[in-house]
Amino acid sequence: MDLSIVIPVYNEEESLAELMDWITRVMKDQPIVYEIIIVDDGSNDHSWQEIEKLSESYGILRAIRFRRNYGKAAALHSGFQAADGEVVITMDADLQDSPEEVPELYRMIRDGEWDLVSGWKKKRYDPISKRWPSKLFNWAARRYTGIKLHDFNCGLKAYSNELIKNIEVYGEMHRYIPLIAKQAGFTRIGEKVIAHQKRKYGVTKFGIDRYIKGFLDLITILFISRFGKKPMHLFGTLGTLMFFIGFLAAAWLGGQKLYRLSKHIKTTLVTDSPYFYLALTAMIIGTLLFIAGFLGELIARSSAERNRYQIDKII
């Protein structure tokens, strides 16, 4: 199988027939053996009934249905697991991603130039209330991941089969597949300017809250990637630093008290100083952080993932 096209669907019954027709028109003159995998993410309209009808007309169509809505990341993960193509392309079902881009995206991966190619909707038809938060989100993602992509959230992406079989997408992490791929050792990540279509049917399934969730997910994935297998390096370092600062502050207060007593200078109780309580708090926080790191190490050592590494080749 040359190509698998994975399409997550949630309440897109109006666009499915048109999308299938568009894809097949584009691909009919291409010397590419391909399949289409639709993952119905628990739609509560008639999307699944429409998919069943389409499956009777298109032998290239395979479909998966979730019992309830799990989210786009879960749909992509299931689609990736089912994909047999040497190249895997993902696209949204709302007709905003153009199938005309598929042949060139396929070529960019097939020729071995890239492991992952992300679409860049350089000219967008979204309202300004979506464009500017998106620009800010993508700037932050570029800044903290080091991956120079303009549109992390674009649903139209192409991957090598080896890549999608060696990563796990969960939660809301579909926005950061390029980062997950990079951390798995697939560093050849590029982008292609693509055409953005206006939404033709229905309404968007994402609100402004996706940018808040996206920022939190970015923090999570950066933390897990850097300290997931060595939590003591973070918590132990912070804990030791906090405890040391608190201990020095307490020692300074004690030393000052002893000095004044030795010189018969009138002095107050150490516990009357607010700095004593700040020092004590720092020592307690440092101890708790160190314990958190120690417990994290115990959990990491018992994890089934503790010795899972990405192996490229073996001779």
Percentage of residues in the chain with pLDDT exceeding 70? 83
Q: For 127-160, how does the pLDDT look when each residue is reduced to its tens digit (9 = 90+)?
A: 666 677 778 878 878 887 888 899 888 889 999 9
Q: For 257-295, how does the pLDDT look when each residue is reduced to its tens digit (9 = 90+)?
A: 888 888 788 877 887 888 889 999 999 999 999 998 888
Q: For 13-58, how does the pLDDT look when each residue is reduced to its tens digit (9 = 90+)?
A: 999 999 999 999 999 989 999 999 999 999 999 999 999 999 999 9
Q: Using an 8 Å Cβ cutoff, are 31 and 49 in contact?
A: no
Give the pLDDT band (50/70/90) at residue 163. very high
Kindly indicate whether the domain formed by 3-227 is annotated with CATH number 1.10.10.10: no
> What CA–CA distance (Å, rounded) separates 90 from 163?
13
Q: Using an 8 Å Cβ cutoff, are 194 and 123 in contact?
A: no
> What CA–CA distance (Å, rounded) separates 93 from 106?
19
- Strand (E) or helix (H) holding 271: none
Give the pLDDT band (50/70/90) at residue 79. very high
User: Is the model's pLDDT at 222 over the cut of 70?
Assistant: no
Q: For 251-263, how does the pLDDT look when each residue is reduced to its tens digit (9 = 90+)?
A: 988 888 888 888 7
